[in-house]
Amino acid sequence: MDTPRSSRLPGFAGLAPATLVLIVSFLAFISIGFPDAVLGVAWPSVRRTFDLPQTGLGSILFFSALGYCTSGLVAGVLIERLGVGKLLVISTGLVACGLLGYAMTPLFAVFLGLAVLVGLGSGAIDSALNVYAAEHFSEAVMNRLHAFFGLGALVGPLIMGAVLSNDQSWRWGYVVVGFVLLLMMVVFVITRDLWGNGAHHQGESTVAAPVREVLRHPMVWLSVVIFFFCTGVEFTGGQWAYTVMRERFGQSAGVASLWAGLYWGALAVGRLTLGMVSARVGTARMVQISIAGNIFGSVLYAVGSYEVAAAGLLLMGFWMAPLFPLLMSLTPRRLGSAIAVHSVGFQVSAAVFSGSVFPWIAGYLSERTSFEAVGWVAFTGGVILFGLHGLMMYFDRRRAKVEVVSS
C-alpha cells in the first residue's frame, strides 16, 4: 500500500494531508500578518533615517501595492501553472528577501524597490492562500485563519516596539521578521505537494474562466471596489495607530507600539467571535453590521480624548475584523468558482492598492490639518463601503429571485 504523502514528510508522521494543510495555513496567516503591521511602528524611525515627510509612508505603501497588484492580477494564471504549493514557496522567498533587504539598504530609493519585491511576494501569497481557503474551508475556519493574520499583525508591532524600546535600530526588527518568513518558506517547501491547484476536491479541478470573460462581469468590478474600500479603511487604522498615539497624544514608543499591536489584536478577537455570529445572522448582514460598528469607532478615534480615541481604535479593529474573510468566503458563491479563481486575485490587488492610497490620504491631510484626519478618512471610507455592499446585497437578492423563477 502506498504511504500517504504527509506521513513521509519529516516531523509530520501520522497527520492527514488535509489536517497538515490546515495547520500550515494557520502558520502562514500569522507570518503574512508580520510585514503589514511592522511598517506602521517602524515608520517614524524610517522617516528620520531617510529624512522624509509624513507622506513618505504613502510612497512605501504605493510601491508595495504596485508589486501586490501586479502579482494579484496574474495570480490565477500562476496558480494554474505552478500550483498553490510552488507559488507559496517562491512568493515567501521573495518577501523574506525584501524584508532582509530593508534592514541593509542605505538608500530610500532601494527601499522603495524592495517594497515592490515584498508586494510581489505578499500579493501572490495572499491570493494563493485565499483561493485555497475560499474553496476548501468553511466561513468559520476562514475567519479563524484571518484571525491568525491579526495575531501575526499583533506580534509584529510588539517585535519592532521591543527593538526600538531597547534603543536598537529599526533595521534589527526587519531582520527578525525576515527570518520568520524564511522559516515559513521552509515549511512551504516541505508541504508543497499537498496543496494541489486549489480545486475544491482532490480529484476535481476547477476550470478557470478566461480573464477577458471575468473582466466583463459587472459583479466582479463591484466586488473589486468593495475590497478596495474594505482594506483601505482597515489599513488606515492600523498603519497610523503608532504615529497617532506617539505624536497626537504624546505616548512613549512602548505604549504607542502596544496600541498599534492591540488594534491588530482586536482584529484577531473580532474574527474569532464575530465570525461565529455570522452563521446566525447571515454572512451579508454581518458584513453590514460590522461596517456600521467600524464607522462608530472611527468617529470616536477622530474626535475623542486619548482614552476615548484608544477605545475607538480598538472598536475599529474589532468591527473591521470579519469583513475581509467573510467577503472572501462569499466570492465563490456570488461569482462561481470558475470566475473566483481570477477574481480573488483582482480583489486582493484592489485591497492592497487601497492599503497605500488611504494611508497616503490620511498622511497628507494630517500634515496639513491634524492627526484627527486619520479617523475621518476611515469614517468616510466606511460610509462609502456600507453603501457599496448594500448595493451588492440588492443584486444578490435580484439574482436569487431570478433563479427561483427560472427553476
Residue 204: strand pairing partners:
201
Q: What is the pLDDT of residues 303-357, one digit of tens each?
A: 989 999 999 999 999 998 888 888 887 877 777 666 666 677 778 778 777 877 8
pLDDT of amino acid 214: 66
Angle at 58 between CA 53 and CA 61, to 5 degrees: 135
pLDDT of amino acid 312: 95
Stated as kind and residue range, the H or E segment containing 17 is helix 17-50
Within 13 Å, how many C-alpha atoms sit on residue 121's CB side? Answer: 26
In the 8-state DSSP scheme, what is residue 201?
Answer: B
Residue 107 falls inside a structural domain: yes
Of 377, 123, 366, the residue nearest 237 (C-alpha): 377
Please, are residues 293 and 344 in contact by the beta-carbon 8 Å criterion?
A: no
Structural domain boundaries enclosing 203: 14-406
Residue 191 falls inside a structural domain: yes
Helix/strand/coil percent split, the chain, to 5: 85, 0, 15
Residue 9 falls inside a structural domain: no
CATH number at residue 257: 1.20.1250.20
pLDDT of amino acid 175: 93
What is the longest distance spanned by two Cα atoms in the chain?
71
Query: What torsion do the CA atoms of 69, 72, 73, 74 make, to the nearest 10 degrees?
Result: 130
Residue 1 falls inside a structural domain: no
Q: What is the pLDDT of residues 155-177, one digit of tens each?
A: 887 888 888 888 889 999 999 98
Residue 141 falls inside a structural domain: yes
Three-state SS at 137? coil
Please give the model's pTM, rounded to 2 decimal places: 0.67
pLDDT of amino acid 98: 93
Please, are residues 299 and 375 in contact by the beta-carbon 8 Å criterion?
A: yes
Which amino acid is located at 304 in the chain? G
Question: Domains in the chain: how many in total?
Answer: 1
* Residue 6 CB partners (closer than 8 Å, separation 6+): 12, 13, 14, 15, 16, 17, 19, 20, 194
Q: What is the pLDDT of residues 111-161, one digit of tens each?
A: 999 999 998 888 788 777 877 777 777 767 777 777 787 777 778 878 888
Q: Residue-wise pLDDT tens for the chain (407 aa)?
A: 333 444 445 444 555 677 788 888 888 888 777 776 788 788 889 999 999 887 787 788 788 878 877 886 777 778 778 888 888 889 889 999 999 999 999 999 999 999 999 988 887 887 778 777 777 777 677 777 777 877 777 788 788 888 888 888 999 999 998 998 899 899 889 888 877 655 544 444 455 565 566 666 778 888 889 999 998 998 888 888 988 998 899 888 788 888 988 898 888 888 888 877 877 888 889 999 999 999 999 999 999 899 999 999 999 999 988 888 888 878 777 776 666 666 777 787 787 778 778 888 998 898 888 889 999 999 999 999 999 999 988 888 887 776 655 65
Of 118, 116, 110, 119, the residue nearest 49 (C-alpha): 110
Round to whole Å and give the CA distance between 80 and 131: 11
Assigned C-alpha cell, 219: 459583479
Residue 286 falls inside a structural domain: yes
pLDDT of amino acid 196: 65
Residue 7 falls inside a structural domain: no
Question: Using CB atoms within 10 A of its CB, is residue 307 exposed (0-12), middle (13-18) or buried (19+)?
Answer: exposed
pLDDT of amino acid 3: 38
Residue 372 falls inside a structural domain: yes
